Amino acid sequence: MGSIVGCALLAGCASTSPHVISHSIEVSPGINVVRTAQGNVVDSITMRRDATRVNDLALRDCLLSNVVPANREPATDIVQPEASVWQRPGEVDVNGQTVHYRLSLQRLKDQNYYLFDQLGQPHRDAQGQEMWTPVPAWDHQQPKALHSALVEKTNAIQSCLVNAEQQQRSATSGRDARMRSS
C-alpha cells in the first residue's frame, strides 16, 4: 500500500515538472512544444480551415475586426511579408491573464493555415523593460485554455472570411445577372 501511495505522489510531482509535457497538450492537435532553459514551453499553435476566396480588403477587414492588437496600439497594423501570408500581432485573455501572439494567416489553394507564434505573457523587469514569459507546456490548464481561446479566435476569423466570400459571390452574381439582362 505504501508503494502505491509513493508512486501516486511521484506521479503527481512529475506532472508539474517543467520537463514533462502535459497530457492535455499531447492530445491537442497543432500545439508545438520546444525545450528551453525554462523547460518545455508552447512555441506555436497551428490550425487549418477550408480555403476562402476573398479579396485582400475583405481579408484585412476580418483580421482588423477579430485580432485585438497587443497593447491595443492603433499603429500596430497588418503586414504581408509574402503574397499569400498576412500577419498581425494580438492578445487574448486566458484565465484572467493576457497572452500575446503573432497570427500568420496563409491562404493556400485548398486551406487557410493559421499559425499563432511568439506566444508569451508580458511583464516588466526591475528596470521597467518589457519581458516575455513563455507559456509552460507542463501546466495542463493554461496551455489548454490558450488553445481553446485561439480556436475561438480562428473560428471567428474564418466565419468572417466565409461571410465575406458569400457576400462577394452575391455581388458578383447580381452584377452578372444585370449585365446579361441589358
* CATH at 134: 3.30.530
Name the percent of the chain lying above pLDDT 90.
46
- Side-chain half-sphere exposure of 182, counting CA atoms within 13 A: 6
Of the two residues 139 and 13, the one the predictor is more confident about is 139
The answer to whether residue 11 is domain-embedded is no
The pTM of the full predicted model, rounded to 2 decimals, is: 0.79
Nearest by Cα to 121 from 93, 151, 140:
93
Backbone φ, ψ for residue 77 (5° rounding): -125, 180
End-to-end CA distance of the chain: 88
pLDDT digits (tens, 9 = 90+) for 115-168: 999 999 887 888 888 778 898 888 767 888 999 999 999 999 999 999 999 999
The answer to whether residue 137 is domain-embedded is yes
Number of domains in the chain: 1
The letter for the amino acid at 61 is D
Q: What is the mean pLDDT of the chain?
A: 82
Range of the domain at 38: 30-176
Nearest by Cα to 149 from 106, 90, 108:
90
Rounded CA-CA distance 134/119 in Å is 6
